Structure 1
Amino acid sequence: MKLTYFFSLITSFAGLLNLSSCTSKVEQKAENPLETKPNIVLIFADDMGYGDLGVYGATQWKTPNLDQLAADGVRFTQFYVPHAVCSASRAALLTGAYANRLEIFGALDHSAKHGLNPEETTIAEMLKQNGYATGMVGKWHLGHLAPFLPTEQGFDSYYGLPYSNDMWPHHPEVKGYYPPLPLYRDTSVIDTLDDQSMLTTNYTEEAIKFIEQNKDEPFFLYLAHSMTHVPLFVSDKFKGKSEQGLYGDVMMEVDWSVGQVRQKLEELGLAENTIVIFTSDNGPWLSYGGHAGLTAGLKEGKGTSWDGGIREPGIFVWPGHFPAGKVETQAAMTIDILPTLAEITRSKLPDLPIDGRSILPILEGKEMEPKPYFAYYNKNELQAVIYGKWKLVLPHTYRSIPEGTEMRNDGIPVKYHMLTLDKAELFDLSLDPNETTDVGADNAEILAKMNQFAEEARADLGDALTESEGTGLRKHGRIE
């Protein structure tokens, strides 16, 4: 006993002097609460294209703050969402599970009687159980009725819109269907919006207020911008500032917002101990022409499982932990964020099964074995499988803009037409990111492997296209 006590004293003293070479990295983290409970800021844009940031190819507007974010951390070139539509994408992000597993499809509106099941564990609930203050600012879209609001899903506070900002009386195609657009604080409607020009600014101010109020304890801030979803609105600060027009102005204001949040973290001395993550829910809504973002040449956009609809900017920053300026080509998905944060913060994973995995090794500059990812759309249609550089697109019908269509720049969409992919096609995304050339005939072994992944997904999650019923499905929450 005396020998053990003596050894304990020696080890503790060496740790204080930072001289111990035998203490593992995990043990060192356990002794430093700043490393095991970093602050977390998750910024989620809406309908932003893969090519909308300067570091991803944008040239008609400037995004200096987002470009700096990428310079300070890890920037993925193959970062995905599993669903190219609002509610489903958000459910997957916050739970680490495919939204079809949770029975969340499409985009919920004011008439929905259901939402994310309270039995599911969100990132906020996971971190709250581990001593974090949790706050949400922005677009929720996982149920507007009382049992499904953010404050019932692990968030201490909420300020924002319950669903998409186009779900209001001024919708260009369904005038009169939607009620006035409600703005919430916690569980109460505090206003209805007839003008959204200050929305990004107000979100930013609320985000900064949350950081200031919780600067002395670990916090999780989920900032889910309504922009760049149509209808586009921008404050006078950025009106007319871009070469492109209104969409570029809006992008510049979102970029400004990111800069304001990071500046506040710096002012409060929190930047070194804060993880900042930036991505978006799906690709650009191409039918809106000049009011839609850029895919950087990727095929199709929002509402499709081609890469233009599901590949997004993905940036992760944690000073001193994630390498700065790292361009990461390994594939990852938003369902990986929850388990990654769980590993970093040593939080308990949800009791119910999830689909993501921790990508902390990738973020630390290491290689990981590829993982199959699945893209689902409509009501449980398995449309694509992604495995490293490979992508198998399965037979399905998808929307596209007819060739030769004259695009608009006034917030009014053009009409899609439907195309059908009759047979599965395999793409090598490292050589063909635009998904133009089927290489299945030359890669029989990988094609068989991808088809096996698809069969495993059908057995677990189901697939409406093949009338497969999955055994791992759960129910959403519902009020009758």
Structure 2
Amino acid sequence: MMNSITKLTLLLLCVCASLRDASAAEPEPKPNIVFLLADDLGYGDLGCYGHPYARTPNLDQLAKDGTRFAQFYATGMTCCPARTGLMTSQFPATYPTYPANGGFAERVTITELLNKSGYRTGHFGKWHIGPDQKPGTYGIDVVGDQSRDERGKKKAEDLRGRDAPIYDQAIRFIEESKGQPFYVNVWGHISHNPVDPNDELVQRWSALELDESKFSPAMREKFATLRKAGGDVEDALRRYLADVESLDAAVGQLLKRLDELGLRDNTIVIFNSDQGADMSKAGLGGVRDNQMGFNGAHRGGKHTNLEGGLRVPWIVRWPGHVPAGRVDEQSVISAVDYLPTLCALTGVAINAADFEGEDVSAAWLGKATHTRTRPLLWKTSSPGGQAVIREGQWKLFHPIRKNGGEFELYDIAADPAEALNLAAQQPEVLSRLKTRIEAWVATLPKEYIKTDDKED
């Protein structure tokens, strides 16, 4: 017969086991999500992505604390198409009405899905995803005040930089949301035209002396274009770098506040640019001369489907989940993957067949390199517009137009600068990708409604 001490010991063990089982049964809290989106920031515009002069300590530290991806693609060469893929996991060319005018129609967004699963949702900064910019649209609880219009034109001066008011609003939203899972879009205007930082910010770059040998041939050509038009390259570069530095400072304030609120460990922070830097407008005079964005070694930029227009920064931090200090050079991922990946990480059930992206969470979490099962596809919202496909190492430009045009085929793994057209040397690859892209184009709208002319 057990004595009283033995009975008490067994009772305590049972209680501890019950408490342990109850604790084990408690689900982990859903992660908060902070999505920081820059505008027209080039692939090479951050220190961590190889800019020889940029001062971006906060974003560089974000990359050190998380994972930086080297092959991330926007879903469009301009602002609205890029945002469309992020929000809906649908290729923009599938919309018969340009989403900046008609919205996303019946297609579900990441904010709607998360909102329905208990997330408080917010959006601050640039919109360009439909006519209704108000609370409740796309399941967004709070839509911030606009300190600038859609083109980034000043409405009020802020000596800290033009995106500082947007980040202030996002920080207040985060403060108000503590205690429940939240998702927030922080979509700034830097470095979209006009690039016009105040003199105090520019003065910090007065000692800059440009060594053009530190830049790619495409960037040196941009410098030459500006000089030919009578512009001051060093002054333009100082102003551009001052603008980007002010964005980095705003990011730093938000990250600091997350730490102060004790939210760092359970918050996924993502940094991205909607598309590459504009390489076509240097030399047009006035403020546009300050468009000194750098796309690294890649050719082309915004308004093109070349790597310089589509390959952009993508940084993910989630302490304890996303490996710190990692650079993923191999995974080919896209903005179209954003929705299914976040749903996988937050436990939101979706039918994968309803979306055009893939769950790339294993790549985010450092568990595996992502190998695509579906190609990436691009096309402008025009029946005869160029179509592009990336499948494996290959990228094909299909002219589509009935009057012909040149096919361009590049081995992106070996030639990320897209310098050598292999269409003639690789007829089998050309034929396979041509067939695939034509089959996709045949499913697209035969007419497009586009009345928004502000996209630039």
TM range (shorter): 0.7 to 0.9
Please tell me whether residue 389 in structure 1 is matched to residue 393 in structure 2.
yes
Cα deviation for residue 382 of structure 1 reads 4.5
* Corresponding position of 1:337: 338
Q: Partners in 1 of 2:404 and 2:71 — Cα distance? A: 23
* Corresponding position of 1:95: 88
Matched position secondary structure for 2:387: strand
Q: Partners in 1 of 2:43 and 2:291 — Cα distance? A: 15
Q: Partners in 1 of 2:57 and 2:404 — Cα distance? A: 40
1:26-45 aligned within 5 A: 31-34=26-29, 37-45=30-38
- 1:208-259 CA-partner distances (Å, limit 9, x unpaired): 1111111111000100001110112335663332333111001001111111
Matched position secondary structure for 2:301: coil
Q: Partners in 2 of 1:163 and 1:351 — Cα distance? A: 37
Q: 1:216/1:280 Cα in 2 relative to 1: closer, same or farther (>3 Å)?
A: same
Letter in 1 for 2:378: A
Letter in 2 for 1:367: T
* Corresponding position of 1:127: 114
Please tell me whether residue 449 in structure 1 is matched to residue 432 in structure 2.
yes
* Corresponding position of 1:166: 151
Matched position secondary structure for 2:438: helix
1:290-369 aligned within 5 A: 290-328=290-328, 329-349=330-350, 353-365=354-366, 366-369=368-371
* Corresponding position of 1:153: 138
* Bigger shift: residues 69-78 or 335-344: 69-78
Matched position secondary structure for 2:255: helix
User: CA contact under 8 A between 2:152 and 2:189: conserved in structure 1?
Assistant: no
- 1:40-96 CA-partner distances (Å, limit 9, x unpaired): 001111011111111111122211111111112221111111211111211221111
Task: Report the aligned-residue RMSD.
Answer: 3.2
* Bigger shift: residues 308-317 or 232-241: 232-241
Which residue of 258, 267, 281 maps to 1:274? 267
* Corresponding position of 2:244: 251
User: CA contact under 8 A between 1:374 and 1:382: conserved in structure 2?
Assistant: no
Matched position secondary structure for 1:294: coil
Which residue of 123, 132, 143 maps to 2:130? 143
Please tell me whether residue 226 in structure 1 is matched to residue 213 in structure 2.
no
Q: Partners in 2 of 1:163 and 1:391 — Cα distance? A: 37
Cα deviation for residue 284 of structure 1 reads 1.2
Which residue of 13, 38, 44 maps to 1:51? 44
1:100-111 aligned within 5 A: 100-105=93-98, 108=100
User: CA contact under 8 A between 1:74 and 1:326: conserved in structure 2?
Assistant: yes
Letter in 2 for 1:447: L
Q: 1:268/1:167 Cα in 2 relative to 1: closer, same or farther (>3 Å)?
A: closer
Letter in 2 for 1:394: H
Q: Who wins on radius of gyration, i.e. which is larger?
A: 2
Matched position secondary structure for 1:125: helix
Q: Which runs of 5+ in 2 are unaligned?
A: 1-13, 209-236, 283-289
User: CA contact under 8 A between 1:277 and 1:315: conserved in structure 2?
Assistant: yes
- 1:326-374 CA-partner distances (Å, limit 9, x unpaired): 2112111101111101111111437993211110111122033323001
> How many percent identity over aligned positions?
33
Which residue of 242, 262, 267 maps to 2:255? 262
Letter in 1 for 2:35: L
Give the TM-score, by structure 1 length. Answer: 0.75
Q: How many residues align?
A: 396
Give the TM-score, by structure 2 length. Answer: 0.78
1:231-242 aligned within 5 A: 231-234=194-197, 238-242=201-205
> Which structure's residues are more often strand, by fraction?
1
Q: 1:79/1:236 Cα in 2 relative to 1: closer, same or farther (>3 Å)?
A: same
Please tell me whether residue 428 in structure 1 is matched to residue 411 in structure 2.
yes
Q: Partners in 2 of 1:63 and 1:165 — Cα distance? A: 25
Cα deviation for residue 421 of structure 1 reads 9.1
Matched position secondary structure for 1:33: coil
Q: 1:68/1:43 Cα in 2 relative to 1: closer, same or farther (>3 Å)?
A: same
Q: Partners in 1 of 2:262 and 2:71 — Cα distance? A: 32
Cα deviation for residue 10 of structure 1 reads 10
Matched position secondary structure for 1:322: coil
User: CA contact under 8 A between 2:94 and 2:444: conserved in structure 1?
Assistant: yes
* Corresponding position of 2:216: none
Which residue of 157, 162, 171 maps to 1:199? 162
Q: 1:202/1:444 Cα in 2 relative to 1: closer, same or farther (>3 Å)?
A: same
Letter in 1 for 2:392: G
Q: 1:316/1:476 Cα in 2 relative to 1: closer, same or farther (>3 Å)?
A: farther
User: CA contact under 8 A between 1:384 and 1:394: conserved in structure 2?
Assistant: yes
* Corresponding position of 1:24: none
> Which structure's residues are more often helix, by fraction?
2
Q: Which runs of 5+ in 1 are unaligned?
A: 1-7, 18-27, 109-113, 169-180, 182-192, 398-419, 463-468
Cα deviation for residue 452 of structure 1 reads 3.3
